[in-house]
Amino acid sequence: MRRYLVVAHQTLTSPELLEAMQTKVAEQETAFHVVVPATHGGASATWTEGEARAEAQRHLDEATDRMAAEGLTVTGEVGCDSPVDAADDVLQRDGADAYAGIIMSTLPHTVSKWLKVDAPSRLQRRTTLPVEHLIGHPAEVRA
């Protein structure tokens, strides 16, 4: 069974990400490991690392429940605040050969903090695995 690393936060339950995952499963039996960077997504000017991790864990729990309900095989974890470093940490721990590729899901260009720092390209430069970038449009965009 092949395995993909999924890097997402606010777009974890977007139709685009779920469709991409279902497409992988339709092609070949596939499992997914989701890493949710503990980035601050709220409108508040002050926040703590603990609050950011708790928010990321809530998103992860919501998403893995929904993905499992859709028949997907999913594990997950909360990573550090940088999406590139969070993915890199998983690849260092598990070994890049544990994954067939990486799916990075971001918000649209106009609002994505990850795209402002060129996260998909930066991640691609750190690995030989294929990095698939997709734009997710969650029903409710969290600030």
Q: Where are the domains of the chain?
A: 2-135
Q: Which residues contact 119 (CB under 8 A, 6 or more apart)?
A: 83, 84, 104, 106
Q: What amino acid is encoded at 135 in this protein?
A: I
Q: Which fold has domain 2-135?
A: Rossmann fold (3.40.50)
pLDDT, the chain, mean: 91
Whether residue 141 is predicted with pLDDT greater than 50 in this model: the reply is: no
Mean pLDDT of 129-139: 91
How many whole angstroms separate alpha carbon 70 and alpha carbon 10?
19
User: Which of 85, 104, 106 shows the shortest CA–CA distance to 11?
Assistant: 106
In 2-127, which ranges are continuous DSSP H helix? 15-27, 49-69, 83-94, 113-116, 119-126
How many whole angstroms separate alpha carbon 79 and alpha carbon 123?
15
What does the pLDDT read at residue 38? 92
Whether residue 89 is predicted with pLDDT greater than 70 in this model: the reply is: yes
pTM of the model: 0.91
Give CA separation, 75 vs 20, 22, 40, 102, in Å: 17, 15, 22, 14
Confidence band, pLDDT 50/70/90 cuts, at residue 47: low
What are φ and ψ of residue 80, in 5° steps?
-65, 175
CB 62 within 8 A of CB 13: yes
Whether residue 83 is predicted with pLDDT greater than 50 in this model: the reply is: yes
Q: Which residues contact 110 (CB under 8 A, 6 or more apart)?
A: none
What does the pLDDT read at residue 143? 35
Mean pLDDT of 10-37: 96
Whether residue 137 is predicted with pLDDT greater than 60 in this model: the reply is: yes
Confidence band, pLDDT 50/70/90 cuts, at residue 46: low
